[in-house]
Chains A and B, each alone.
Chain A
Amino acid sequence: MTGNTLLSVEDVIVDLPTPRGNLRAVDRVDLTVGTGRTLGIVGESGCGKTMLSRAVLQLLPKKAKLSGRVMFDGQDLLQLPPEKLRKLRGRSLAVVFQDPMTSLNPVLTIGTQLIETLQEHLELDDATAKKRSVELLAAVGIPAPEQRLAQYPHQLSGGMRQRVAIAIALSCEPKLLIADEPTTALDVTIQAQILDLLAREQRRRHMAMIIITHDLGVVAGRTDEVAVMYAGRVVERAPTPALFKRMRMPYTEALLAALPKLDAAPHTPLPAISGRPPDPTRPLQGCSFSPRCRYAVARCQSEKPPLEAAETSAHQFACFHPIETHADANA
């Protein structure tokens, strides 16, 4: 890793009590993000990626139990008193949520929602805060920014609202931006624009970013490192180029295969990942992916593969039969 470590997640566990028993949403996850770097977290719905991001933000549901360490900029967020945590959020730790329809307050104007963040953290007077808000809206590509300040979220399109949400997140020049499925709720045509906007602002402001998505295509050209999550665990982790060159975990391969390809003939059926993710309240003894994995052998069902480094220390995966070894054996 180059540069200093900005965020390090160490041995984080998130448990949610449910009527059917304890649900382990995040299971012993370790991750790091360097200053100015980009990390992609990829996985299906329910794999725990959103819970992990909420754990970093300390926005878990009340009943959730969290353990481990979340070191951000030299401080353990779990030990931080609420007032210090509040000063950190929005200032150096910002977030963009999935659905801009629900993440902006419907009864407050765009201007109020932008200015309140600026004034909370930066002690600006009204005129300066307003000027900064207009600049921010212009920077995220919103036409006629002055007029927008007096408008309500429902008067804007989905893509515009997500730009507003991004402007709010960027407003105090955060060190880390967490984008939780920032394009999932948007039209396909808007998705690339929003992703490019995020990437551009990230480079310009030298901030670190975590992009959470279920779409490997989103992280492909836009991240430095990728972590693939399955059933609450990180199952493969590698620098982005290395991962796409040689993916080792069968799950990652299945995820990639499930992406539509531009060069495929029309009406080619997409290979879906067969089966369903395991019931998180009934953890499996062995590898969680083994019931759906076509390479699984007896050992996969009885023993959990640890996350281990392979040929380079940067590329880690949790699999007894990583893809190439398997292919070698067949050859």
Chain B
Amino acid sequence: MAFFVARRLFYLLPVLIAVSLLTFSIASLLPGDLAYTILGDQATPENVAALRADMGLDQPIWWRYLGWLGNVLQGDFGRSFRTGQTVLQAVAERLPVSIELMLLAQLGALGIGVPLAIICAARSGGPFDRFMTGSAFGMLSVPTFLSAILLIYLFAVELRWLPATGYIPFAEDPLANLRFLVLPALTLALAEWPTIMRVLRSDMIATLQEDYIALAKAKGLTPARILFVHALKPSSLTLVTITGINIGRLIGGAVIVETIFALPGIGRLLIGAILTRDLIILQGVVLLVGAGFVIMNFLVDMLYAVLDPRIRHGHA
């Protein structure tokens, strides 16, 4: 186990460095000078030169990268030149919203996808299985923003059950907070459950053909025990593998959903930074999201070891 963790950690470091390099170079190498962007209409050659010197933009690029990386490692991601807020402040303020949204969405997706997958695998080839497999395939073709609009139209415009936009912090009023999050989380869950269901279903069908399932039946175990104890755990490995990719889609989906439902999360911070050309915030958020994503993938890999004792004992 220790070896497994060490090997993964060893791999994590270069990827994180590469992520920081990529983030930095997107911001620095692409056309468009930061100084011009900041000064906008007031850009005169003298002004620009002064600001460039002030921001260190006249230094060689690798020097700027090292300086930036050094600051980042000390927790200084820069400060918005529009609001004066530091990147860390801005992110810390909005992160809980995004995390709550993604957690609820993932729970919802698992809550829909896992039971459906188990039922479908247990009755594979039957009418229910065929119907659900078809529906899942269809749902994969519905973009997040489409289901958002459909849900808003249905529950906010027509039925008027739930608010279409807005947010109240959990600490202020937990119930109202959940009311505002139901539709966004459901939107994201609708995009995620088909993948979960399809992957788990096909793995589960394969597992149910295994000798040890035949033996479990021959041992006279109940069907529920066979499905949940004997078949579910060995079938969930691929599900865990794709969770990494899913988190990436979830983050992308959260950006869209936060914008549509006006939730003050990281996604809206990002979009806001793009629209106001607040490049420091943008750079910081992209770096933090990228790094967070890499670290989450690392944690997912660790989960693998928990599920499969063969990896835990170094038989990978």
Binary interface encoding of chain B residues 142-177 relative to chain A, with 1 for a CB under 8 A from any of its CBs, else 0: 000000000000000000000000000000000000
B9 to chain A, nearest CB (A): 25
A189 to chain B, nearest CB (A): 24
For A102, list chain B residues within 8 Å (CB). 210-212
Q: Which DSSP category, helix, strand, loop or mixed, fits chain B's interface?
A: helix
Q: How far is the CA of A105 from the CA of B219 in the complex (A)?
A: 13
B19: interface (CB < 8 Å): no
Known A-B contacts A88-B220, A120-B221; A104 and B215 likewise in contact (beta carbons under 8 Å): yes
A103: interface (CB < 8 Å): yes
For A91, list chain B residues within 8 Å (CB). 220
B273 to chain A, nearest CB (A): 45
A117: interface (CB < 8 Å): yes
For A265, list chain B residues within 8 Å (CB). none
Binary interface encoding of chain A residues 106-143 relative to chain B, with 1 for a CB under 8 A from any of its CBs, else 0: 11100000001100110000000000000000000000
For A105, list chain B residues within 8 Å (CB). 212, 216, 230, 234
Q: Which of B64-72, B110-118, B242-250, B308-316 contacts A (4 or more CB under 8 A)?
A: B308-316
Q: How far is the CA of A121 from the CA of B214 in the complex (A)?
A: 18
Known A-B contacts A102-B210, A102-B212; A107 and B309 likewise in contact (beta carbons under 8 Å): yes
A244: interface (CB < 8 Å): no
A299: interface (CB < 8 Å): no
Binary interface encoding of chain A residues 77-90 relative to chain B, with 1 for a CB under 8 A from any of its CBs, else 0: 00000000011111
A286 to chain B, nearest CB (A): 35
Judging by beta carbons under 8 Å apart, are A121 and B230 in contact? no
B222: interface (CB < 8 Å): yes
B226 to chain A, nearest CB (A): 10
Judging by beta carbons under 8 Å apart, are B212 and A89 in contact? no
For A120, list chain B residues within 8 Å (CB). 219-222, 225
Q: How far is the CA of A107 from the CA of B222 in the complex (A)?
A: 18
Q: How far is the CA of A38 from the CA of B211 in the complex (A)?
A: 24
Known A-B contacts A90-B221, A116-B219, A152-B309; A97 and B234 likewise in contact (beta carbons under 8 Å): no
Judging by beta carbons under 8 Å apart, are A59 and B218 in contact? yes
Judging by beta carbons under 8 Å apart, are B212 and A104 in contact? yes
Judging by beta carbons under 8 Å apart, are A152 and B218 in contact? no
Q: How far is the CA of A298 from the CA of B215 in the complex (A)?
A: 46
Binary interface encoding of chain B residues 199-240 relative to chain A, with 1 for a CB under 8 A from any of its CBs, else 0: 000000000001110111111111001000110011000000
Which of A97, A121, A154 is the one whose CB lies under 8 Å from B220?
Answer: A121
Give the number of chain B interface residues (Cβ < 8 Å).
23
Judging by beta carbons under 8 Å apart, are B215 and A116 in contact? no
Judging by beta carbons under 8 Å apart, are A107 and B214 in contact? no
Q: How far is the CA of A99 from the CA of B214 in the complex (A)?
A: 12
Judging by beta carbons under 8 Å apart, are A86 and B220 in contact? yes
Known A-B contacts A106-B310, A107-B307; A168 and B219 likewise in contact (beta carbons under 8 Å): yes
A274: interface (CB < 8 Å): no
Known A-B contacts A106-B234, A107-B234; A90 and B219 likewise in contact (beta carbons under 8 Å): yes
A94: interface (CB < 8 Å): yes
Q: CB-nearest residue of chain A relative to B217?
A: A59
Known A-B contacts A154-B309, A154-B313; A89 and B218 likewise in contact (beta carbons under 8 Å): yes
Known A-B contacts A106-B234, A154-B315; A117 and B309 likewise in contact (beta carbons under 8 Å): no
Judging by beta carbons under 8 Å apart, are A103 and B211 in contact? yes
B292 to chain A, nearest CB (A): 30
Q: CB-nearest residue of chain A relative to B236?
A: A107
For B210, list chain A residues within 8 Å (CB). 102
For A165, list chain B residues within 8 Å (CB). 215
Judging by beta carbons under 8 Å apart, are A99 and B221 in contact? no
Q: How far is the CA of A168 from the CA of B211 in the complex (A)?
A: 15
A296: interface (CB < 8 Å): no
Interface residues of B in 177-206 (CB under 8 A from A): none
B142 to chain A, nearest CB (A): 33
Q: CB-nearest residue of chain B relative to A102?
A: B211
- A-B CB contact pairs (8 Å), 9 listed: A59-B214, A89-B217, A90-B218, A97-B214, A97-B215, A102-B211, A107-B234, A107-B308, A154-B309
